[in-house]
Structure 1
Amino acid sequence: MTLRSNLPQGSPRWATRRAQWFALGLTDDDLTKPKIAIVNSSSGLSPCFSHLDPIAAAVKESVADAGGVAFEIRTVAPTDFIMAAGGSGGYVLSSRDLLSNDIEAVVEGAQLDGMVCLASCDKTTPGQLMAAARLDVPTLVLSCGYQSSGRLDTGEPVDIEDVFLHAGHLKFGGITFEGLCDMSARAITGPGVCTGMGTANSMHIVAEALGMTLPGSTPVRANSEAMWNSVRASGRAIVEAVLAGRRPRTILSPGAFANAVMAVLAVSGSINTVKHLQAIAREADTDVDVYALFEEYAEVIRPLSAVRPNGEDTIERFEDAGGALAVLKQLGDRLAGDAVTVTGETMADRVASAMVKDEEAIRPLAHPRGGHATVVVVRGSLAPGSAIVKLSVTEVRATTFEGQARVFDDAPSAIAAIEGGVVRQGDVLVLRGLGPVGSPGMGMASQTVFALNGAGLTEHVAVLTDGQLSGLVNKGIVVGEVIPEAALPGPLGVVADGDRIAIDLATRRVDLLIDEAELTRRHEERARHRVPGGTSGWLPVYARSVEPLARGATLRGNDLPVTPA
Structure 2
Amino acid sequence: MPASPRNSPLPHVKTVEEFRSRRWFGPADLRSFGHRSRAMQMGYAPEEWTGKPVIAIINTWSDLQPCHAHFKSRVEDVKRGILMAGGFPVELPAISVSESFVKPTTMMYRNMLAMETEELLRSHPVDGAVLMGGCDKSTPGLLLGATSMNIPAIFLPAGPMLRGNWQGKHLGSGSDSWKYWDELRAGKITDQDWLAVEGGIARSYGTCMTMGTASTMTAIAEAVGMVLPGGSSMLAADAGHIRLASESGRRIVDMVWEDLTPQKIQTRPAFENAIAVAMAMGCSTNAIIHLIAMARRAGQDIGLEDFERYSRKVPVIGNVRPSGNAYLMEDFFYAGGIKGLMSRITQHLDLSCMTCTGRTLGENIEDARVFNDDVIRTVDNPIYGEGSLAVLKGNLAPDGCVIKPAAMDQKFLKHSGPAVVFDDYPSMKKAVDDENFPFTPDTVMVLRNAGPQGGPGMPEWGMLPMPKKLLKMGLRDMLRLSDARMSGTSYGACVLHVAPESWIGGPLALLKTGDIVELDVDARSINMQVSEEELAKRRAEWKAPPERFGRGYGWMFTKHIQQANDGADFDFLKTEFGRPVEEPVIY
TM beyond 0.5? yes
C-alpha distance 423-133 of structure 1, shift in aligned 2 (>3 A)? farther
Give the AA of the match of 1:550: N
CA distance in 2, matches of 1:364, 1:393: 19
Shift in Å, 1:195 = 0.8
Q: 1:526 maps to what in 2?
A: 542
1:402 aligned to 403, 416, 419, which one? 416
Moved more, 303-312 or 26-35: 26-35
CA distance in 2, matches of 1:515, 1:9: 72
Equivalent pair of 1:174/1:454 in contact (CA under 8 Å): no
Is 1:295–2:314 an aligned residue pair? no
Is 1:549–2:571 an aligned residue pair? no
SS of the residue corresponding to residue 106 of structure 2 reads: helix
1:45-84 aligned within 5 A? 45-83=64-102
CA distance in 2, matches of 1:294, 1:41: 30
Is 1:435–2:451 an aligned residue pair? yes
Q: 1:141 maps to what in 2?
A: 155
SS of the residue corresponding to residue 519 of structure 2 reads: strand
SS of the residue corresponding to residue 412 of structure 2 reads: coil
1:424 aligned to 439, 450, 453, which one? 439
CA offsets, 1:111-144, max 9 Å, x none? Answer: 4211111122111111111112111111111122
Give the AA of the match of 1:338: S
2:322 aligned to 292, 299, 309, which one? 309
1:265-414 aligned within 5 A? 265-289=279-303, 291-310=304-323, 311-392=325-406, 396-414=410-428
Q: 1:470 maps to what in 2?
A: 487
C-alpha distance 119-46 of structure 1, shift in aligned 2 (>3 A)? closer
Q: 2:126 maps to what in 1?
A: 112
CA distance in 2, matches of 1:449, 1:438: 20
Shift in Å, 1:340 = 0.6
Moved more, 179-188 or 453-462: 453-462
Shift in Å, 1:166 = 2.5
Shift in Å, 1:55 = 0.6
CA offsets, 1:436-495, max 9 Å, x none? Answer: 1111111221562355675558566311000110102222x2101111111123201111
CA offsets, 1:67-99, max 9 Å, x none? Answer: 11111111111222322xx4xx3x310121111
CA distance in 1, matches of 2:122, 2:59: 16
* Overall identity of the aligned pairs, in %: 28
CA distance in 2, matches of 1:318, 1:229: 19
C-alpha distance 557-535 of structure 1, shift in aligned 2 (>3 A)? farther
C-alpha distance 532-209 of structure 1, shift in aligned 2 (>3 A)? same
Q: 1:37 maps to what in 2?
A: 56
Moved more, 309-318 or 452-461: 452-461
CA distance in 2, matches of 1:506, 1:190: 40
SS of the residue corresponding to residue 305 of structure 1 reads: coil
Equivalent pair of 1:424/1:461 in contact (CA under 8 Å): no
Q: 2:142 maps to what in 1?
A: 128
Equivalent pair of 1:99/1:127 in contact (CA under 8 Å): yes
CA distance in 2, matches of 1:19, 1:299: 60
Equivalent pair of 2:54/2:128 in contact (CA under 8 Å): yes
Moved more, 428-437 or 412-421: 412-421
Shift in Å, 1:300 = 0.9
Shift in Å, 1:206 = 0.8
RMSD over aligned CA atoms reads: 2.0
C-alpha distance 239-451 of structure 1, shift in aligned 2 (>3 A)? farther
2:109 aligned to 65, 78, 95, which one? 95
Equivalent pair of 1:166/1:450 in contact (CA under 8 Å): no
SS of the residue corresponding to residue 472 of structure 1 reads: coil
Moved more, 458-467 or 107-116: 458-467
Q: 2:265 maps to what in 1?
A: 251
Equivalent pair of 1:3/1:34 in contact (CA under 8 Å): yes
Name structure 2 gaps, 5 residues minimum. 1-14, 574-587
CA distance in 1, matches of 2:322, 2:74: 29
Equivalent pair of 2:483/2:496 in contact (CA under 8 Å): yes
Equivalent pair of 1:169/1:455 in contact (CA under 8 Å): no
Q: 2:5 maps to what in 1?
A: none
Shift in Å, 1:58 = 1.1
CA offsets, 1:206-225, max 9 Å, x none? Answer: 11111101112121111312
Shift in Å, 1:260 = 0.5
Q: 2:579 maps to what in 1?
A: none
Shift in Å, 1:537 = 3.9
Q: 1:193 maps to what in 2?
A: 207
Q: 2:4 maps to what in 1?
A: none
C-alpha distance 439-462 of structure 1, shift in aligned 2 (>3 A)? same
SS of the residue corresponding to residue 487 of structure 2 reads: coil
CA distance in 1, matches of 2:564, 2:31: 40
SS of the residue corresponding to residue 317 of structure 1 reads: helix
Q: 2:35 maps to what in 1?
A: 17
Give the AA of the match of 2:425: A
Name structure 1 gaps, 5 residues minimum. 559-565
CA distance in 2, matches of 1:27, 1:346: 38
Equivalent pair of 2:462/2:482 in contact (CA under 8 Å): no
Q: 1:561 maps to what in 2?
A: none
How many residues end up aligned between the 2 structures? 549
Q: 2:582 maps to what in 1?
A: none
Give the AA of the match of 1:24: M
CA offsets, 1:367-426, max 9 Å, x none? Answer: 323223321111111011111111336964331111111111122211211111325112
CA distance in 2, matches of 1:17, 1:251: 33
CA distance in 2, matches of 1:550, 1:71: 37
Shift in Å, 1:285 = 2.4
Give the AA of the match of 1:399: L
Shift in Å, 1:365 = 2.2
SS of the residue corresponding to residue 358 of structure 2 reads: coil
Equivalent pair of 1:169/1:451 in contact (CA under 8 Å): no
